[in-house]
Amino acid sequence: MSEASASLPAGLLIRAPAHALAADFADAAELQPVTWTKGGLLCAPRAADDPERAARALAGLTHSWEARDAMAGWPEPPSGWMGGWYRRSAAHAPAPPGVPELIQTSGEGFGAAGHPTTALCLTLLAQLPPGPALDAGCGSGLLTQAWIALDRGPVDAIDLDEAAIRHCHDSLAAAGRSAGVRLSRGPLRGLRDVDLDGRVLLANIPAAAHRELLPRIGAGTNVALIAGPGPDEMDEIAAGYEACGLRIAGRAVSGRWRAMIMERP
Ligand SMILES: C[S@@+](CC[C@H](N)C(=O)[O-])C[C@H]1O[C@@H](n2cnc3c(N)ncnc32)[C@H](O)[C@@H]1O
């Protein structure tokens, strides 16, 4: 156990009912909630993947809490707060009413937690128009799952990596959100115009994958959420979408990372 982890209590009871915690669940999400009890929310803070972030969350708690000697469990993969969503495993405590959640199983693909740009995309998702979506390079499927959770429409999700597809499949099944999702494995260069036409494009992928996708963007792509290139490559990739007739209609920024909504005027 690391020093930072050892400084966290083995167990933790946040003394607040679910409705009170719902107003600000970000810190609780980092403290590995395991069970709702009559006295509040029982957590296993040492199960956090980043003990220093968990320690900051503990320091930031606005509700009273008490340390417990016994571990409340070791839910995996660790939960966290991501772009306004509570991302958790099936073994974590469910979200309080009104807090949106995404369920992730353990997986070998891109990983459970996603990337800083996944969080940026999640913050922008609700600004996109509803409709069928194409999640290009879906990874563990967080954007696909969020699209289904928001009831925006069906999703075609594609990824090159077999492990990512398995992870996406298992997470959607654990969340009960498989209906309306079609998963396929393959490279983005295999997509045809018809696969993109009329779909909201969700593309949080590396620059090289955007470069594969761009020649396939035709007049039928009216809106795209783009992210994933390194900070120094993002302008070039956005310019590629502008060359396809799309314009920047929204953005989210975290440090040097950016995500953008591109729309056809
Ligand atoms: C940074 S991860 C993002 C995953 C997901 N979009 C998200 O927001 O969490 C990028 C994903 O794109 C996939 N990928 C990269 N290049 C690809 C390509 N040429 N064709 C299909 N998938 C690709 C990777 O396998 C990986 O799962």
Please tell me the distance between residue 206's alpha carbon and the centre of ligand 1 in angstroms: 7
Distances (CA, A) of 128 to 78, 113, 205, 225: 29, 23, 18, 8
For 38, the token pair is 């009559």
Ligand 1: lining residues by beta carbon, under 6 Å? 109-110, 114-115, 118, 121, 137-139, 142-143, 159-161, 164, 187-188, 204-206, 209, 212, 228
> Contact 140/109 with Cβ under 8 angstroms?
yes
Please tell me the distance between residue 136's alpha carbon and the centre of ligand 1 in angstroms: 7
Length of the chain equals: 265
Helix axis angle, 142-149 to 116-124, nearest 10°:
20
**Residue listed under structure tokens 């009104």:** 98
Q: What domains lie within the chain, and their CATH numbers?
A: 3-103 (no CATH), 116-263 (3.40.50.150)
Q: How many CB atoms lie within 10 A of CB 166?
A: 18
Give the H/E segment covering residue 162.
helix 162-175
List all residues 6 or more positions away from 70 whose beta carbon is below 8 Å from its beta carbon.
Answer: 10, 11
List all residues 6 or more positions away from 58 whose beta carbon is below 8 Å from its beta carbon.
Answer: 8, 12, 27, 31, 45, 65
Per-residue pLDDT tens for 86-131? Answer: 999 999 999 999 999 999 998 765 454 557 999 999 999 999 999 9
Give burial (CB, 10 Å; 0-12/13-18/19+) of 6.
exposed
pLDDT of the chain along its 265 residues, tens only?
A: 566 666 899 999 999 999 999 998 999 999 999 999 999 999 999 999 999 999 999 999 999 999 999 888 999 999 999 999 999 999 999 999 999 999 999 876 545 455 799 999 999 999 999 999 999 999 999 999 999 999 999 999 999 999 999 999 999 999 999 999 999 999 999 999 889 999 999 999 999 999 999 999 999 999 999 999 999 999 999 999 999 999 999 999 999 999 999 999 9
In terms of Cα–Cα distance, which of 60, 5, 7 is closest to 29? 60
Instruction: Report how far apart the first and last C-alpha atoms of the chain are (Å, whole number).
Output: 54
Ligand 1 atom nearest to CA at 142 = 9
Please tell me the distance between residue 135's alpha carbon and the centre of ligand 1 in angstroms: 9
In terms of Cα–Cα distance, which of 260, 100, 247, 130 is closest to 200? 130
Dist CA 106 CA 42 (whole Å): 22
Tell the residue nearest (CA) to atom 27 of ligand 1: 139
DSSP string, 205-224: --HHHHHHHGGG--TT--EE
- Pocket test residue of 82, 85, 102, 110 for ligand 1, highest count of atoms within 8 A of CB: 110
Reported pTM: 0.95
Tell the residue nearest (CA) to atom 10 of ligand 1: 205
For 124, the token pair is 């922008």
Dist CA 160 CA 153 (whole Å): 23
Please tell me the distance between residue 239's alpha carbon and the centre of ligand 1 in angstroms: 20
Tell the residue nearest (CA) to atom 4 of ligand 1: 139
Please tell me the distance between residue 245's alpha carbon and the centre of ligand 1 in angstroms: 24
Per-residue pLDDT tens for 2-25? Answer: 666 668 999 999 999 999 999 989
In terms of Cα–Cα distance, which of 22, 21, 24, 45 is closest to 33? 45
